[in-house]
Chain A
């Protein structure tokens, strides 16, 4: 199925959000996630099954004013 991860297209077999993050190298990172514009807490990632066309945002601490 096709997803968008931080705006980039990604082709993957059906997965949960937690699996996708592990596969993409985010394991153990301090990040926050949203799917289709809605916040998904860390505790809910393992149960969040991703669907074709989902847009996933993975955000991390960054400089700001």
Chain B
């Protein structure tokens, strides 16, 4: 199993913390899935409500690694400033770097992403870049100091699964030693299993679990599928072929005509 900046994650699941029906259901989803990482964000706090303080205590109680994001940032400056604020609040060098470039697809601005990744890596951050499956961009991100890549499966929150299997397979083949995480777009456990069968090291998802009728059960379903996919990849699957091939031996078959 590959390390993520020196940290080994057993389950292969990184789970978001947004949109759950209640904090109790969120905690249950983490327990049943065994997710090793919780993604979190930063938002404006009110001195009266202090809602963020209760949330922070709950996340700490989960006992998982915390991966803060720069969700909603559209510029390099915004993302870099948010990363610095996240490092102070969450006391971690990890940052899920999002620089959004397109409003309808929430597609990364890969040019800004590479620049922000370079600035943050030089400043000691361990960057988890939310990127596309573009190999040239991937190479630039690695040159910028990233040691993990997180290509999207499909647009954030869409539940469409893996839109570009060819591109994702090519990415795995081009960067055999880089930890790769499918981030965004998954809707069903079978899609997570597919990602793991392709040789990805983990998946990061949120909406598919949080918006399920039973989030905790769906979280467990994803964890089970990820385990199946990982085992299948490790077991070296057979090559598909166009024509039939008998699986029962022909030799020794009875002559009954």
User: Which residues of A come within 8 Å of B, CB atoms?
Assistant: 6-7, 21, 24-26, 29-34, 37-39, 41-42, 57-65
- Interface bin, chain B: 35 or more
B82-129 CB contacts (< 8 Å) to partner A: 82, 84-86, 88-90
Given contacts A6-B44, A32-B86, A37-B81, contact A64 B71 (CB under 8 A): yes
B206 at the A/B interface (Cβ < 8 Å)? yes
Given contacts A32-B88, A65-B39, contact A59 B45 (CB under 8 A): yes
Given contacts A25-B50, A30-B53, contact A61 B81 (CB under 8 A): no
User: Which residues of B come within 8 Å of A, CB atoms?
Assistant: 16-20, 39-48, 50-53, 55-56, 59, 68-69, 71, 77-78, 81-82, 84-86, 88-90, 156, 205-207
**Contacts A61-B52, A61-B53, A64-B69 known; 5 new A-B pairs at CB < 8 A:** A21-B47, A37-B77, A39-B81, A65-B16, A65-B156
CA distance A32 to B69 in the complex (A): 14
Q: Is the CB–CB distance between A62 and B55 below 8 Å?
A: yes
Residues of A within 8 A of B53 (CB): 29-30, 60-61
Least Cβ–Cβ distance between A61 and chain B, in angstroms: 4
Q: Is the CB–CB distance between B47 and A59 below 8 Å?
A: no
Identify A58's interface contact among B40, B45, B78, B81, CB under 8 A: B45
